[in-house]
Chain A
C-alpha cells in the first residue's frame, strides 16, 4: 500500500484510520470522537432503545480499538463503520433473543416465581418499528439503510456486501410484508 500524503489540518477519515491502524493513538481518538454520534445513531435506529443503543455503541467502540489495526482502506470508512455497528446490533438482538429463551424456560421451571414477568419493549418503539423488527435480518438491514439512513441502493449494497439488485430484492420483499403488517395496525395509530 502506498503512503498517502494529505494535509494535517482536517485529516480525512481514511487518513486518520490509516494512521490509527499503525498505532497512532491520537488519530484513533479523533476518529472515534468524530464518529461516536454516528455509531450511536445507527445503533439506535437498529434497536430503538436508549440503553441498548448505548450498549451497542460502547461495544462498537471496544471492537474498533482492535479492528482498526486491521483497517485495509478497501472500502469507505463510513461503510466499514456501518458494518461493524450493524453487526454489533445484530449480536445484541441475538443476545436479547437468547435471554428471552432462557427466561421462558425459567418461567416454566422455576414455578416458584409464578406471576407474570415484566414484559420488555424498546423505549422508542412505534408501530412501524414493531413491524420492521419482525423482518429477517437482511431485509431489516436493507430497509433501515435505505429508509432509515436514506442511503442509495448502491451504498446500502456496499454496506451489506451484496449486489445492488439483492438490496432491491430485499426491499421489495420487505415492503410487501410491511404492507400487510401495517395495513392492520397503522390505521389505529
Chain B
C-alpha cells in the first residue's frame, strides 16, 4: 500500500512557465557575468566576497521586483506589523534575533551561493582545497578557505538567516519583493498528520520495539545514554486511574532508569563513570541470557559542585490553573530553591499571552525575593512558548556562570505554542543555544494537554532531561533528590556501542532505547549529539542475547553468507562494550572500552545482584505493557515475585510503589 502511495511522489511537476524560466535564465547569466570573465574564484579573501555579494543582492532585488509587482498591496499590509514586531524585538535586545535583523546585506550574502551549495558535500574539503591550490593560477588564493569551510555546519544556517534580513525593510524594494513570501510563509496550518498517539489529549510518540537481530548480519548496536524518566510517571498515572497505557507509548528504558540503582561508582572525577556488566539467565526464556549494563556516574560532593545559574521558564497559561499544575509547580520549585547554594542564581520568566521576566538573575542568598516572586505567579492567558524561551535564554546568557551550570528549566503542561506544532523548528532554536553552553531541562505537569513528543525532543536537543511530575513526591524525587544529577552533568554526549562476538552470541535484542538508537557511524562522530549523565546518575541498558547453539535461535544461517567463526582469537569473550563521553564543555570525546568476559556471567538468576534483578523485573513489566511477544507467557505474578525479592533497601518507597503498579496492571489486564 505504501508503495502505491510513494509512486505519487514521482508525479511530474506542471511544466514551468516560460516567463519564469526566461527570468531565471537572465538571472543566471547576470550572475555569471558578474562572477567575472576570467577564472577567478569568489572567495579569494574578504574584499571580493563583499563585492560579489552586493552584486547578488542587486540582481536579486531587481528581478524580484519584476516578478512580484502584483500582490504588493496585500504585501505591504503584512510588512508593516512585521516591522513593528521586529522593532519591539530590537528594543528588547534579544541576541537571538539580532544577527538576523541587523546584519548588513553584504555579510548576509557573503559566500552565500557557494557555502550553501557545499554544505552537504562531505568528501574531503581539504583535499579539494589542495587540488585547487594546484590548479588555480594564484596558489595562495585558496588560503582563507578551509577555516570558512570548517564553520559550515553552523554557518549554513546562520547564513540562511542573515540572507533574509531584507524582509524587514518596509516599503523598500526588498520589502516588497519579499512580501509575497510573507504570504506564503503565513501560519502554515499544522493539520498534517504526525506520528503520535492521543492518550486522552496528551500527545505521546508511538515507537516500535527493537526486533531480534542476527549477530552475523548486525554485530554492532549503538545508542545514546539518555536518562529521561517521564514515561514511568505517565504509566503510573494511567494505571492508578484504572487504564492500561497504550502499548506503543511505554518506553521501557525510561521505566528501568526511573529507579536509583546502587551500582559501584568510580572513585575519582577523572573517571567520569564506571560500567558494570552482568550476564544472567533470562527469567522469561530458559534458552536466552540477559546482558545487563549498569553505568554509574561520579558523584560530585557538595564542595566540588559548580555554581549554578538557573532560569525557571514557567508556563502560567490558563491551562495551568489546576491543582496538579501551577500550585504543584510552585511547591516543587520552592523545594528546589531550598537545596541551592547561596551563590547560585535564579531567574524566573513566565509565558502566557506574552513572555515576561518576573525575576532578573538573583542570588539564592536572597531567597525571600525569589520565593515572593514565585508567589505572585497567577495563571491566565494562552501560551507564547517560543518568545518565553528566547527571553529565558537571554537571562541565562546574562547571568552566565563560566564553568558553572547554566540551565533553563522549563515547566509546562505541554501546551507549548498555541497554533504551532512544528516541533522541529523549535528544537532548532534549542540546539543552537546548546552550543553556547546553556542547557535545557523540561518538567511536564498535569494531564490533558501534555505533549510528550515535543518535550522529549526539546530536552534531548537541549542536553537536558524530560521528567513528568504528577505528585509532590515525584517533584521531590526529580527536582530535589536528583537535583544534583539533573543539574550537574559530569559527562555529556554519552554513547554506547556494543559489539557481540559471533562465535558466542547468535542473536540479540535490545530492550527499550528505541528512540535513542544511533547509527553505527555516529558513535565516533563527535558532532552527533547524545545524552548526558549527571552526577551520581545511573544508566541501565539490557540486551536479551541468544547464545550460539541455543534452541531459541530464530534466524537460520545463510547459505551464501559469511560463515560463523568457530572461535575467534579472543576466545569466549561475549561482547565488547565501548563508551564514548565528553567532559562537559569539551569538544572531543574519550573512549572507554570494556570486554565482556564469561566471568561476568551469574551462575543463576537468583545469584545476580538485587539491583540487576530488580531492573530486569522492571524491564519485563515494561515489555508486558508494550505487548512484546517475548514476555507474553511470563506472568505479572512472576514479575512481582522478582521485584519483591530484589526490593532491597528502598528508603523512598519507589520500589514498593512499583510492586503496586504491577498488581494494578495485573488486575486491569484481563
Residues of A at the B interface (CB closer than 8 Å) are: 1, 20-23, 25, 28-29, 32-33, 36-37, 40-41, 44-45, 49-55, 57-58, 60-70, 72, 74, 83-84, 86-88, 91, 94-110, 112-113, 117-121, 124, 126, 128-134, 136, 143-144, 147-150, 160-162, 166, 169, 175-182, 184-186
Contacts and interface: CB of A to CB of B under 8 A. Distances in A.
B654 to A, nearest CB: 33
Given A95-B181, A98-B164, A22 B39 contact: yes
A119 B40 CA distance: 45
Interface in B1-57: 1-2, 5-10, 12-17, 20-21, 23-25, 27-42, 52, 56
B570 interface: no
Given A51-B184, A161-B123, A102 B6 contact: no
Given A36-B25, A58-B23, A128 B117 contact: no
Contacts of B33: 25, 65
B15 A37 contact: yes
B2 A175 contact: yes
Contacts of B56: 62, 66
B220 to A, nearest CB: 13
A102 B16 contact: no
Interface of B: 1-2, 5-10, 12-17, 20-21, 23-25, 27-42, 52, 56, 59-60, 63, 81-82, 84-86, 88, 113-114, 116-117, 119-123, 128, 131-132, 135, 157, 160-161, 164, 167, 180-189, 191-195, 206, 208, 353-354, 384, 386-387, 417-420, 422, 424-425, 519, 521
Contacts of B23: 58
Contacts of B8: 126, 128-129
Contacts of B15: 37
Contacts of A88: 116
A169 B519 contact: yes
A118 B187 contact: yes
Contacts of A107: 187, 419
Nearest to B77: A113
A106 B82 contact: yes
Contacts of B419: 104, 107
Given A87-B119, A100-B425, A148-B10, A65 B157 contact: no
B187 A186 contact: no
A96 B184 CA distance: 7
A45 to B, nearest CB: 7
A42 to B, nearest CB: 9
B161 A65 contact: no
Given A128-B9, A147-B10, A161-B123, A62 B187 contact: no
B421 to A, nearest CB: 10
A180 B157 CA distance: 31
Given A54-B16, A143-B9, A102 B41 contact: no
B25 A61 contact: yes
A182 B519 contact: no
Nearest first, the 9 closest Cβ-Cβ pairs linking A and B are A65-B31, A99-B185, A44-B13, A61-B28, A119-B189, A65-B32, A148-B9, A130-B192, A63-B113
A147 B31 contact: no
Given A58-B27, A101-B420, A109 B186 contact: no
A160 B206 CA distance: 29
Given A67-B113, A72-B128, A84-B117, A62 B425 contact: no
B160 A95 contact: yes
B5 A54 contact: no
B32 A120 contact: no
A143 B25 contact: no
A109 B425 CA distance: 20
Contacts of A63: 31, 113-114, 116-117
Contacts of A49: 184
B9 A100 contact: no
A143 B161 CA distance: 27
A65 B192 contact: no
Contact of B35 (A69, A126, A128, A129): A69
A65 B34 contact: yes
A83 B117 contact: yes
Given A100-B422, A106-B85, A147 B9 contact: yes
B16 A95 contact: no
B141 to A, nearest CB: 12
Given A57-B24, A60-B24, A101-B420, 16 more contacts: A29-B29, A36-B21, A63-B117, A65-B28, A66-B35, A68-B35, A91-B116, A108-B353, A110-B85, A120-B186, A121-B188, A128-B6, A134-B193, A161-B121, A161-B123, A178-B6
14 contacts: A1-B135, A25-B33, A28-B28, A29-B28, A36-B24, A49-B184, A62-B59, A66-B52, A87-B116, A96-B184, A101-B420, A109-B387, A143-B6, A186-B1
